Copies of this chain bind each other. A is one copy, B any other.
Amino acid sequence: MLQSELKFRRDKIRVYMAQQGIDAALITCNVNLLYTAGCIYSGYLYLPLHSPAHLFVKRPHNMQGEFVHSIRKPEQIPELLKETGLPVPQKLMLEGDELPYTEYNRLAVLFPEATVVNGTPLIRQARSVKTALEIEMFRRAAAAHARAYEQIPSVYRPGMTDREFSIEIERLMRLEGCLGIFRVFGQSMEIFMGSVLSGDNAAVPSPYDFALGGEGLDPSLPGGINGKLLQEGQSVMVDIGGNFNGYMCDMTRVFSIGKLPEEAYAAHQVCLEIQDKVTSLARPGAVCEDLYQAAIDLVSQAGFADKFMGISQQARFIGRGIGLQINEAPVLAPRIKQELEPGMVFALEPKIVLPKIGAVGIENSFAVTKEGVEKLTHCPEEIISLG
């Protein structure tokens, strides 16, 4: 990756550090290394406020560069910093919301004279506004994502289970270059490639903080497909994550087995109208909770409020930032006063769950521009009949 891009990203973090009087950061979590160093390695990136970053690398052993130091353990870092002439940090930030407790403490004691603070919110704030290159990465991912989704009808066969259908969609995604892995913020969050929800499985509440749930195939992974037959009159909501280059593109489309009851098309149309409404309001300065409220107003007028984002358990958001993780800032949810800024990228996913039928609705990824938003994920949005 271009050094200028990496320097730009590090400087974004430095601006926030300066505001909080932090004079150095020690970064080690994969997504934050990917963001600041352009690659994933086992080790640390030391980011001083006023000097170039230094990379301390445990593995792979063959990383090279001007500011790259090979180490066996983090306890070597203070001495190596001293040799480079860098001052001891006075106020150091570590990734407190991501690093395990014992790892955080192990790193904190390396700098006994420093005040150590949690840097995760600050790094996530910097990451929430994407660079031009990052938005271009999203555009490429979205194009590949759409190429896979356009082939979905071709892999459906009558009599399939949701599991069999999902496996063929996963294969399409992989053939288009999807890396598979799906990075999520939060230690208890996990998901395989995404979810395919049909019929009443779409209403099964989830332990995870995703928009919808699903029973899953096994208690050890309670989400998504449950192995049931896809049946006439059911919707099939496909929400498979589009990680083609590290950036988590998100897109949901709805298919039907034969024809659905009229209510389903009406509810789907409401979700498309919510998308239109929210994206017409979304621009720099728009407040997250206002966008959420606009969606709630529309879905309430349409009479679907009790089925919006789930039935018995309803998710309390309509979208959230995406980036190197699938759940970044900002969150389009109640009581979130944050304003949109140019360069933010978010997924908007108004969804309605109908008993016996399944879920309908839409999800697209959008980048905030100077005047409004740019839709990244282009793919037909109506309900497509499979049978």
Q: Measuring CB to CB, which residues of chain A are less than 8 angstroms from any residue of chain B?
A: 1, 28-30, 34, 38-43, 59-62, 94, 96-105, 118, 120, 163-164, 167-168, 170-171, 174-175, 177, 179-181, 183, 187-188, 190-193, 204-209, 213, 217-222, 243-246, 312-313, 324
Q: Are A213 and B312 in contact (CB under 8 A)?
A: no
Q: Are A190 and B181 in contact, with the CB atoms below 8 A?
A: yes
Per a CB cutoff under 8 Å, which of B164, B181, B208, B313 touches A221?
B181
**A188 to B102 Cα, complex, angstroms:** 14
The distance in angstroms between the C-alpha atoms of A181 and B195, with both chains bound, is 13
Decide yes or no: A60 and B206 within 8 Å by CB, A246-B218, A246-B219 being known contacts. Answer: yes
Q: List 9 A-B contacts (CB under 8 A).
A: A30-B190, A59-B205, A61-B312, A99-B101, A103-B187, A170-B171, A179-B192, A183-B190, A218-B246
Q: When the two chains form their complex, are residues A246 and B221 in contact, meaning their CB atoms are under 8 A apart?
A: yes
Q: Which 6 pairs show the lowest CB-CB distances between chains A and B?
A: A220-B246, A60-B205, A101-B104, A180-B192, A41-B207, A167-B174
A6 to chain B, nearest CB (A): 12
Q: Please indicate the chain B residues that have their CB under 8 angstroms from the CB of A246 in the complex.
A: 218-221
Cβ contact within 8 Å between A313 and B61: yes
Determine which of B101, B192, B205, B243 lies in contact with A118 in the assembled complex, contact meaning CB atoms within 8 Å.
B101
Contacts of A313 in B (CB 8 A): 59-62
CB neighbours (8 Å) of A41 from chain B are 207, 222
Write out the residue numbers on chain B whose beta carbons fall within 8 Å of the beta carbon of A243: 220
Question: Given that A29-B187, A313-B60 are known contacts, is A42 also in contact with B104, CB under 8 Å in the complex?
Answer: no
Closest-by-CB residue of B relative to A221 is B179
Closest to A58 in B: B207
Interface contact A193-B180, CB-CB below 8 Å: yes
Nearest Cβ distance between residue A144 and chain B, in whole angstroms?
Answer: 12
CB-CB under 8 A from A98, the residues of chain B are 100, 187
Add 11 more A-B contacts to A60-B205, A167-B174, A180-B192 (CB < 8 A): A34-B220, A41-B222, A61-B313, A62-B312, A62-B313, A97-B100, A97-B101, A97-B103, A99-B187, A179-B220, A179-B221
Which residues of chain B are near A204, meaning CB under 8 Å? 60
Query: Are the C-beta atoms of B187 and A100 separated by less than 8 Å?
Result: yes
Q: Are A40's CB and B220's CB within 8 A?
A: yes
A331 CB to nearest chain B CB (Å) = 17
> Please, which residues of chain B bring their CB within 8 A of the CB of A179?
192, 217-218, 220-221
Given contacts A29-B188, A39-B219, A218-B246, contact A209 B59 (CB under 8 A): yes
A175 near B167: Cβ-Cβ < 8 Å = yes
Partner of A1, one of B170, B187, B219: B219
Given contacts A170-B174, A188-B29, contact A100 B102 (CB under 8 A): no
* Cβ contact of A100, chosen from B101, B220, B222, B312, cutoff 8 A: B101
Contact of A59 with B312 in the complex, beta carbons under 8 Å: no
Are A40 and B193 in touch, CB under 8 angstroms? Answer: no
Taking CB atoms, residues of chain B closer than 8 Å to A1 are 219
Enumerate chain B residues within 8 angstroms of A219, measured Cβ to Cβ.
Answer: 1, 34, 38-40, 246
Contact indicator A207/B118 (Cβ below 8 Å): no
Residues of chain B lying within 8 A (CB to CB) of residue A208? 42, 59
Q: Which of A102, A193, A324 has the most CB of B within 10 A?
A: A102
Kindly report which residue of chain B lies nearest to residue A313, judged by CB atoms: B61
Report the separation of the CA atoms of residues A208 and B42 in the bound assembly, to the nearest whole angstrom: 7
Q: Closest residue to A204 on the B side, CB-wise?
A: B60
User: Which residues of B have CB within 8 Å of A177?
Assistant: 217
List of B residues within 8 angstroms of A42 by Cβ: 188, 207-209
- Report A45 CB to chain B, min CB distance, Å: 13
Q: Which residues of B contact A96 (CB under 8 A)?
A: 100-102
